[in-house]
Amino acid sequence: MVNVQHYLGVDVGASFIRIGVIDEGGRVIEKIKVPMPPEGDEDTVANIIIKGAKEDLAKYLPSISAVGIGSIGPLDLRTGNVIIAPNLRWRVKRFRLYAPLRTGLKLPIIIGNDAMASVWGEYLFGQGVGKNNVVYITLSTGIGMGVIVDGHLLVGKDGNAHEMGHAVVDIESDLQCGCGGYGHLEAIAGGGNIPRSARWYLEKRYRGQMSEVALMVKEGRATTPDIFNGYRKGDSFAVEFIDYVLKAIAAGVANVINAYDPEIVILGGSVFLNNSDIIMDGLNKYIKRYVVNRMPEITGTRFGDDIGIIGAAALAIRVPDSLKPFIESQEREMAASKG
């Protein structure tokens, strides 16, 4: 193993931190998964990553040449920190990644947002190979997006370009998103919000018969899988509500196609992976009514859950030009804070 180069790919999600050992060709050699703790301090996430690398994955550590991180956001890429997302209910307002990881692992650290990492992984190793205009959308606890236009990974001033989860897809909705806004795609269709969104729909819009799922939603005991299962069984409320969710997703994806004119749109994330048949059918049915540009190919990721760690490693395997100035800035910030 002495001459083999490996990379660590770390997917920091709202529910799990996944760490993978990835080879130069984007293949997963080994992986571990740690639940995101319900509460933590500024260095809890970094410490979980360091412990995983030094203990569970210790035998690979000598062959690791860099660490790529794809994290939930919002990010502050100037410092390499993460602003605590609405999906995480921690007391501290941010957690640190760059400084503690750089000090703890003594390896190059490349940080991006999770969907940004995933699109880079698809571009280097997946269905984006050979294409210059690629979009990746994760439908998971939250909704995120990564975009490559003309071969260039879009990053933005702080690392939060194209916060697609907060695209407005229902201007009449008074359902508040975790971010405080209204009518946002993530409030309607994010896996973490679907039960709340269903309850809102039941109270404000549903005029049909009470059904088994409607009753569960009313009593606050319906999970996101319960509601999708209800749709599969033809439950009258679940069918109408999920149809609304599918229209919202189609509108969101259409906004992206109209904004960036991609050759391919790749979907992933747990909500998509568990319901890809329903969501692809919904897109086929509704997206054309919202799209102006020539339709791109729309497909699911072939990497399943592993896209997060593969994408994160991809950031380290070939560092995107648009991330390089941020790494310099993170290094300067770290040196400054050490005095």
Q: Which of 177, 217, 254, 264 binds Zn ion (CB under 5 A)?
A: 177
Biggest distance spanned by C-alpha atoms of the chain = 66
DSSP string, 111-140: EEEHHHHHHHHHHHHSTTTT-S-EEEEEES
When asked if residue 162 is in the footprint of Zn ion (CB under 5 A), the reply is: no
Closest separation in Å from C-beta 165 to Zn ion? 6
Backbone angles phi and psi of 262, in degrees to 5: -75, 155
Q: Which of 6, 166, 199, 247 binds Zn ion (CB under 5 A)?
A: 166
Nearer to Zn ion, 193 or 211 (CB): 193
Closest separation in Å from C-beta 140 to Zn ion? 15
DSSP string, 28-49: EEEEEEEEPPSS--TTHHHHHH
Give the interface segment with Zn ion, choosing from 112-120, 169-177, 198-206, 304-312 (CB under 5 A).
Answer: 169-177
Give the interface segment with Zn ion, choosing from 15-23, 73-81, 176-184, 192-200 (CB under 5 A).
Answer: 176-184
Nearer to Zn ion, 185 or 254 (CB): 185
Closest separation in Å from C-beta 187 to Zn ion? 6
Nearer to Zn ion, 163 or 226 (CB): 163
Nearer to Zn ion, 175 or 278 (CB): 175
Nearer to Zn ion, 177 or 246 (CB): 177
Intra-chain end-to-end CA distance of the chain, in Å: 39
Across 170-206, b (16+ Cβ under 10 Å) vs e yields beebebebbbeeebbbbbbbbbbbbbbbbbbbbeeeb
Closest separation in Å from C-beta 186 to Zn ion? 5
Give the interface segment with Zn ion, choosing from 117-125, 134-142, 158-166, 189-197 (CB under 5 A).
Answer: 158-166
Nearer to Zn ion, 72 or 327 (CB): 72
Closest separation in Å from C-beta 324 to Zn ion? 30
Which residue's beta carbon is nearest to the bound Zn ion? 177
181-200 residues in contact with Zn ion (CB under 5 A) are 181, 184
- Contact present, 109 and 313 (Cβ < 8 Å): no
Nearest 5°: the CA angle 150, 167, 16 is 85
Closest separation in Å from C-beta 179 to Zn ion? 3
DSSP 8-class letter at 305: G
- Contact present, 133 and 263 (Cβ < 8 Å): yes
Six-digit token pair at 174?
């008074």
Please work out the total of residues on this chain that contact Zn ion, with binding judged by CB under 5 A.
5
Nearer to Zn ion, 166 or 199 (CB): 166
Give Cα separations from 83 to 87, 96, 160, 221, 324 (angstroms).
Answer: 11, 9, 11, 31, 21
CB atoms within 10 A of CB 147: 23
Nearer to Zn ion, 159 or 165 (CB): 165
Extract the runs of DSSP E, i.e. beta strands, from 230-286.
264-268
- Binding site residues, Zn ion, CB under 5 A: 166, 177, 179, 181, 184
